[in-house]
Amino acid sequence: MLKGLIFDMDGVLVDSMPYHTEALSHVFADMGLSMDAQDVYNMEGSKTVDIVSYLLEKDGVDLLNFDLDGLIHRYRDEFARIVELKAFSEVLECLPILKERFMLAVVSGADRNIVQDIITNLYDGIFDVVISGEDVDNGKPAPDPFLSAADMFGLYASECLVVENAAMGVEAANRAGMFCLAVPTYVSKESLKNADRLVDDHRMLSDFLLGLDHLEKEAAESLRLKFYSAQK
């Protein structure tokens, strides 16, 4: 039986990825560095330090002789300056209803202060567990963030459902042994093909979450197959 719902933040709860990408683009340009915005979307869900490190290495930067912390600090300031917080209304409306039936968590790869600010401003009092990229040693696609949420719930992984919108998050949910429901907010449906269930948009996402009684049998079967696959 499903007892816990775990939500990614950027692209699932709040329409914020364009601001993350724009902030990084501004900082990279100011420092004379180049980056491909699509790389940020492709790595969505990963910890900030992992995304920035990848972008720098792709540009040929030697991380051993570079002020990585300084760049990340500048990115945080730029993000805070330009971001306009906007929750996905469909999710905002259904979460109080879901909270009556399930434990709720948000698991994000973003920095702790960004996650806390967004959740406090848009979803205050909704989530039982909040995990940022700074709260785990290994971020998505490792299963650690989702397993940590289940542990804080006091639940088994098989009792949790993950809502994701990024390939890294889908992989992490699969590796955690959790049913994964995905919505293609910023990426193609093809990139999310490994999710257990894929919906077209946030309205469909809300409808499925509110109808989880019908989804539980599907989730149970998917988790059974994942378990037997892992034993081979």
Whether residue 231 is predicted with pLDDT greater than 50 in this model: the reply is no
What integer is the mean pLDDT of 60-66?
94
pLDDT tens, position by position, 111-129? 999 999 999 999 999 999 9
**Pairing assessment for the beta strands 160-164 and 179-182 based on DSSP bridges:** parallel
Q: Give pLDDT, residue 34.
A: 92
The mean pLDDT value of the chain amounts to: 92
DSSP string, 71-124: HHHHHHHHHHHH----B-HHHHHHHHHHHTTSEEEEE-SS-HHHHHHHHHHHST
**How many percent of the chain have pLDDT more than 90?**
88
Q: Give pLDDT, residue 94.
A: 96
pTM confidence score: 0.88
Count of residues in the chain? 232
Element (H, E) at 198: strand 197-198
Residue 120 CA to residue 30 CA, distance in Å, equals 31
Min mean pLDDT across 143-147, 171-175, 177-181, 215-219 is at: 215-219
Q: Give pLDDT, residue 227.
A: 47
pLDDT tens, position by position, 159-201? 999 999 999 999 999 999 999 999 999 999 999 999 999 999 9
Q: Give pLDDT, residue 149.
A: 98
Q: What are the residue numbers of the active site?
A: 8, 10
Cβ atoms of residues 111 and 129 within 8 Å: no
Q: Give pLDDT, residue 222.
A: 62
DSSP 4: E
Q: Give pLDDT, residue 141.
A: 96
**What residues pair up with 225 in beta bridges, in sequence order?**
none
Cβ atoms of residues 114 and 72 within 8 Å: no
Tokens at 14, concatenated: 């709040």
Angle at which helix 212-231 crosses helix 202-210, to 10 degrees, equals 90
Q: Give pLDDT, residue 223.
A: 56
Residue 157 CA to residue 191 CA, distance in Å, equals 24
Q: What Rg, from alpha-carbon coordinates, does the chain have?
A: 17
What integer is the mean pLDDT of 24-28?
96
pLDDT tens, position by position, 72-86? 999 999 999 999 989
